[in-house]
Amino acid sequence: MLHYRLFVEVNDPPGEVEKRASEQLHSWVRSNRLDADALTVGREVSLGPAATGSLAEVAYGSGDRFLRAVIREGRNTGTWTTRLTVHTPVNGRTKPWLWLDLTGPDRVQGKPPRLSRDLLGVFNATTGSVRQGQAQLVQDVDEVRDLVEAVCDPARRTLIFVAGSDPRLPMPAWTRHVRTLLRDTVGLAGGYVLTPAATAEFNNAIGPVHAVNPWTLRTFRSGVEPDDDEDGRRHKILSHERIVADSTSRLAYFLGRRAREAALDTPLPPIATRVDRAFAERINADLVASLGTTDDAVPTDRLQLAVTRPETVTTVTLPGGMLPDAVDEHQGDRADESGRTPDGDPLVESGPPDVTTGAPTHTDPVLPEGAPTVWQALERVLGDGPLTVERVIEWGTFAERGRRIASNREAIASHLDAYETRVTMLEAERGELRRRLQDSQLEIAVAEDEHARAAAEVRRLRKLLVNSDQAAQVWIPDEATELSLKQRPQDCEDLASKLDTWHHITFTGEVDELLDLDQHDQAGGWAGKIWDAFGALEDYAQAVLNRTFDGNVHNYLSDTPAGLRTFSATRHANDESPQVRNSSKLASLRTLPVPTEVDPSGTIFMGAHFKIAQSGMISPRLHYHNDIRGTGRIYVGYIGKHLRNTQTN
């Protein structure tokens, strides 16, 4: 799974980029207690326990140079792969760029790797017009003008976080806090902190719909349209209340995840895609070619040294006549630095073979019956013919080549396995996206039908009012309705800050499950539907307490009293199926927190739920327990993606 992606242009002299990037890479590898000096172009080498690395070079296009480093580390959480690509142009028409990817297990969330911070610390790196690195302080008019242009740049590929301020709080403390909130967005998004004067200047330039209020943090996605009132809802606001009330680590986690998702969803520039393909072809070609190469043969100088030096092993004397590998297994005797066993016996004795005739001159040790000598073992391996140094080295070369081929086969198998895993994941993602698209199309069709019915009903009621001499009432705005629409949340973050505003509803669930929905619905439509469900429960509770309604929630939704808020009864289930209720595993997922006055155990099964939306495996749900006739409240224990059932288990 891809956890992190940094792609930046470098505004430094091209001739220094590769050298400085390599220095940072080697420093980072050494800091992980790995052997950075072992990195070699064209080969995958061991860097330490459960770690490998490789370097590759390609020239592409008009001769631009590209260097790629791949570092794989086995950790407790799984295998993590860091891949750095450095571009060095040969002309001044393009800028150098860096591309850093981090992949790892999908069950954990990766943070920006330290290597990205190291690189951004030594380079003046930008993504388009957005400066990368920690959040910058914006003070003067020129800086504000540049920021507004960056926010409104139609070609912008990255998020921009902008924090506002006013004179009530000291800027140094606020700037430090914003940088802490944005610590996991480094390299993924741009961050800016406006001084009080810059805040006023920025808001005046960009307009009220996209303004950044003091002590808030706003996320600007690409495609900002200052003149479009509806566009403002796409650019989420982290309110001052949430910044104060919520934990810094939680907010930093969600801001980092938002930046990561946006970065991973942004397509790479075409040149990067083409270069990536060129590297893949080079690696595959090298692996395949190495299967039949003879370059792994023992060099001639080694062969000459072996022939001319007579200190070749000829006689082995071991306690009990065992072969060397048997010593480790059975006796544990090892030669010390003097070349002797712990008992003082010589491990190797001189007595070179006759290299001209191939006849060894040695005395066989006394061995157990049936045990081969070293020479007998060599003769069996080499077959017929004289036993010469040249033949031994030749067969040693074959063995070394075989080991290299086996290693390359393992590498090829690993690459194929990675490709197959990627294809499987992409196919699964494509299937899920197709299903979500179909569900969304159905949702839109249903919504359009409901909208048409509602519009027809409004026209009918207006006609009745006109015919009853109350035409003036048709066009008088209803303040309560307008206020209700203004309170409607723009996204789940906004909704989370308003969960305690209801008089008869208590949320007892995990807010993280709710906030997770935003990554699947960037337009914020689901948050509005959840708000509508809360409104229907609130009016139902009030009607029961006022004794103007005497049924359950489903009865209320099916026949809502005039003037009260409602929700589609077809999107509500009064209980779960018997298969879910009778499954201890599935029922436990729906056994959710309540006060002990509701149930002494502090939890209760919540089978009743609202079907907020249909969207593949996500399909958000709201589970609740109706205790309005007991404690006088309704308890919402879960808002999040569809809990497992008999179809998804």
The CATH code of the domain that includes 153 is 3.40.30.10
What does each C-alpha distance from 345 to 311, 338, 367 come to in angstroms?
A: 19, 10, 16
Same structural domain for residues 94 and 197? no
How many angstroms separate the CA atoms of 9 and 129, rounded? 10
What does each C-alpha distance from 120 to 11, 43, 187, 198, 260 come to in angstroms?
A: 11, 28, 8, 26, 17
Residue 548 in domain: yes
With 80 as the cut, is the pLDDT of residue 287 above it?
Answer: no
The 3-class secondary structure across 313-354, one letter per residue, is: CCEECCHHHCCHHHHHHHHCCCCCCCCECCCCCECEECCCCC
β-pairing, 97-103 with 2-10? antiparallel
How many angstroms separate the CA atoms of 48 and 37, rounded? 11
pLDDT of residue 309: 39
Domain finish residue from 111, 127, 143: 127
Residue 425 in domain: no
- Are residues 624 and 537 in contact, defined by beta-carbon separation less than 8 angstroms? yes
pLDDT of residue 326: 34
Residue 310 in domain: no
Greater pLDDT, 227 or 593: 593
Domain finish residue from 290, 321, 336: 290
Same structural domain for residues 213 and 251? yes
Alpha helix positions (H), 185-224: 196-206
Residue 380 in domain: no
Q: Can you give the pTM of this predicted structure?
A: 0.64
Same structural domain for residues 98 and 159? no
Same structural domain for residues 116 and 175? no
Same structural domain for residues 114 and 178? no
Same structural domain for residues 606 and 582? yes
Least Cα distance to 290 among 621, 18, 42, 16 occurs for 42
* Chain-centroid distance, C-alpha 248: 20
Within a 13 Å sphere around the CA of 376, how many CA atoms are in the beta-carbon half? 9
Within a 13 Å sphere around the CA of 209, how many CA atoms are in the beta-carbon half? 12
Least Cα distance to 256 among 104, 113, 153 occurs for 113
**By CB neighbour count within 10 A (0-12 exposed, 13-18 middle, 19+ buried), where does 151 fall?**
buried
pLDDT classification of 377: cutoffs 50, 70, 90: confident
pLDDT of residue 292: 56
CA angle (499, 444, 519) in 5-degree steps: 45
Helix, coil or strand: residue 18: helix
CATH of the domain at 109: 3.30.530
- Are residues 504 and 243 in contact, defined by beta-carbon separation less than 8 angstroms? no
With 70 as the cut, is the pLDDT of residue 363 above it?
Answer: no
Question: What's the domain range around 44?
Answer: 1-127
Token pair in block for residue 382: 């080499």
Most confident range, picked from 253-262, 429-438, 501-510, 523-532: 501-510
How many angstroms separate the CA atoms of 64 and 86, rounded? 11
pLDDT of residue 303: 40
Angle between helices 141-152 and 196-206 (to 10 degrees): 40
Q: What is the mean pLDDT of residues 22-44?
A: 92
DSSP conformational letter for 384: S
By percentage, how much of the chain surpasses pLDDT 90?
39
How many angstroms separate the CA atoms of 29 and 10, rounded? 22
Token pair in block for residue 146: 């540049």
605 forms bridges with which residues in the sheet? 591
Residue 344 in domain: no
Count CB neighbours of 271 within 10 A: 15
Q: What is the mean pLDDT of residues 156-161?
A: 91
Same structural domain for residues 285 and 174? yes
Same structural domain for residues 225 and 153? yes
pLDDT of residue 324: 36
What does each C-alpha distance from 453 to 218, 561, 637 come to in angstroms?
A: 37, 18, 33
Per-residue pLDDT reduced to its tens digit, 332-341: 343 344 444 4
How many angstroms separate the CA atoms of 534 and 504, rounded? 10
How many angstroms separate the CA atoms of 258 and 241, rounded? 20
Same structural domain for residues 143 and 13? no
Same structural domain for residues 97 and 167? no
- Are residues 199 and 144 in contact, defined by beta-carbon separation less than 8 angstroms? no
Helix, coil or strand: residue 538: helix
| Amino acid code (one letter) for 289 | A
Same structural domain for residues 150 and 254? yes
CA-based Rg of the chain, rounded to a whole angstrom?
35
Domain finish residue from 275, 290, 305: 290
With 90 as the cut, is the pLDDT of residue 76 above it?
Answer: no
Token pair in block for residue 619: 């399909």
Per-residue pLDDT reduced to its tens digit, 451-503: 777 777 777 777 777 777 776 666 666 666 666 667 788 888 889 888 988 99
Per-residue pLDDT reduced to its tens digit, 46-69: 999 989 998 988 887 777 899 999
Indicate the average pLDDT of the chain.
80
β-pairing, 159-163 with 505-507? unpaired
Residue with tokens 């050494």: 30
Residue 105 in domain: yes
Greater pLDDT, 77 or 415: 77
Contacts of 632 (CB under 8 A, 6+ apart): 504, 541, 545
pLDDT of residue 370: 57
Same structural domain for residues 106 and 146? no
With 60 as the cut, is the pLDDT of residue 571 above it?
Answer: yes
By percentage, how much of the chain surpasses pLDDT 70?
80
| Amino acid code (one letter) for 200 | A
How many angstroms separate the CA atoms of 116 and 362, rounded? 62
Residue 434 in domain: no
Residue 78 in domain: yes
Contacts of 479 (CB under 8 A, 6+ apart): none
Q: What is the mean pLDDT of residues 585-611?
A: 96
User: What's the total number of domains in the chain?
Assistant: 3
